[in-house]
């Protein structure tokens, strides 16, 4: 019985030694690691809202690492108008978003191949609305021609412009217009309605500033 056990142990030991030789041809060659896809998305991100977050979420799904550029105050002023929050404030909010991997402040408004190369990104992601630079250049079309652009669906019905317009209409000095509305402000107004009223408010403020700065006239005796 002991002799039989010794023979079985010996055979098992020999099989363990020879096994790698017999199965050498079955060894799997490890595949080279795929380079992570880095996606670049940029914007003002002023008074950040659901449309911004949806854009960031969709951009993240297009690759592995999401890099976000927050446009500088000067660039936003030049291309869109003044922002409510400054660049650092806007960037700090973006850093708190779970889909964001890297954040860069004071970026340019017009994204180019150089921009993507600087941040080591393969693609620029943007919504399906056109992005026109101050000189009339369609930035997305240029990047698309180089195979470095990816598109996602823009969120309709929400924008920072509309939010700012609503805040202006809810101020005490301009509450008269608010009282004329039959519905709640929870129901969004038409963009054209916002813009028209905001322009009226701006016009009234300019008139008031002019009247206040004019010298007072006194009647002679």
Taking the chain (221 residues) in consecutive chunks of 10 residues, what is each chunk's mean pLDDT? 62 58 56 90 93 94 97 91 92 96 96 96 92 80 94 86 79 55 49 58 58 48 40
Are 133 and 172 in a shared domain? Answer: no
- What pLDDT is attached to residue 199? 60
- What pLDDT is attached to residue 220? 44
Are 194 and 119 in a shared domain? Answer: no
Are 147 and 166 in a shared domain? Answer: no
Strand-pairing partners, residue 123, are: 39
- The Cα 72–Cα 110 span in angstroms is 11
Instruction: Specify if 33 maps to a domain.
Output: no
Instruction: Specify if 99 maps to a domain.
Output: yes
Are 45 and 143 in a shared domain? Answer: yes
Are 197 and 165 in a shared domain? Answer: yes
Are 118 and 55 in a shared domain? Answer: yes
The beta-carbon contacts of 178-184 under 8 Å, at least 24 apart in sequence, are: none
Instruction: Specify if 113 maps to a domain.
Output: yes
- From the list 152, 134, 9, the residue with the least C-alpha distance to 74 is 134
Return the DSSP state at 110. Answer: S
- What pLDDT is attached to residue 137? 81
- From the list 37, 46, 42, the residue with the least C-alpha distance to 140 is 42
Instruction: Specify if 140 maps to a domain.
Output: yes
Instruction: Specify if 221 maps to a domain.
Output: no
| Helix ranges restricted to H, the chain | 2-22, 50-61, 73-79, 87-95, 113-118, 139-145, 160-169, 175-180, 191-213
Could you tell me which residues come within 8 angstroms of residue 148 by beta carbon, excluding any fewer than 6 positions away?
113, 116, 122, 123, 124
Are 204 and 170 in a shared domain? Answer: yes
Are 145 and 196 in a shared domain? Answer: no
Domain stop point among 118, 134, 152:
152
Are 176 and 130 in a shared domain? Answer: no
- The Cα 122–Cα 98 span in angstroms is 21
CATH number for 50: 3.40.50.620
Instruction: Specify if 201 maps to a domain.
Output: yes
- From the list 208, 56, 67, the residue with the least C-alpha distance to 126 is 56
- What pLDDT is attached to residue 179? 53
- What pLDDT is attached to residue 65? 97
pTM of the model: 0.65
Domain span at 196: 160-210
- The Cα 189–Cα 183 span in angstroms is 9
Are 100 and 46 in a shared domain? Answer: yes
Instruction: Specify if 103 maps to a domain.
Output: yes
Q: Give how many domains the chain has, as a whole number.
A: 2
Are 145 and 53 in a shared domain? Answer: yes
Are 144 and 195 in a shared domain? Answer: no
The count of other CB atoms within 10 Å of the CB of residue 68 is: 26
The count of other CB atoms within 10 Å of the CB of residue 104 is: 16
């Amino acid at each position: 019985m002991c002799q039989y056990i010794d023979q079985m142990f010996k055979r098992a030991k020999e099989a363990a030694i020879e096994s790698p030789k017999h199965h050498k041809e079955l060894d799997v060659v490890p595949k080279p690691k795929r380079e992570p896809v880095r996606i670049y998305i940029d914007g003002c991100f002023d008074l950040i809202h659901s449309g911004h977050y949806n854009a960031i979420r969709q951009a993240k799904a297009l690759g592995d690492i999401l890099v976000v550029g927050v446009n500088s105050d000067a660039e936003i002023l030049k291309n869109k108008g003044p922002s409510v929050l400054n660049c650092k404030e806007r960037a700090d909010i973006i850093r708190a978003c779970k889909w964001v991997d890297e954040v860069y402040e004071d970026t340019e408004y017009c994204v180019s191949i150089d921009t993507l190369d600087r941040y080591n990104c393969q693609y620029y992601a943007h919504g399906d609305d056109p992005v026109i630079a101050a000189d009339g250049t369609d930035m997305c079309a240029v990047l698309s021609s180089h195979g470095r652009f990816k598109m996602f669906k823009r969120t309709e019905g929400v924008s920072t412009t509309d939010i700012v317009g609503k805040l202006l209409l809810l101020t005490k000095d301009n509450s008269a217009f608010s009282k004329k509305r039959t519905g709640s402000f929870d129901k969004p107004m038409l963009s054209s309605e916002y813009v028209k009223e905001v322009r009226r408010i701006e016009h009234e403020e300019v008139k008031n500033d002019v009247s206040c700065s004019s010298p007072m006239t006194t009647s002679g005796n």
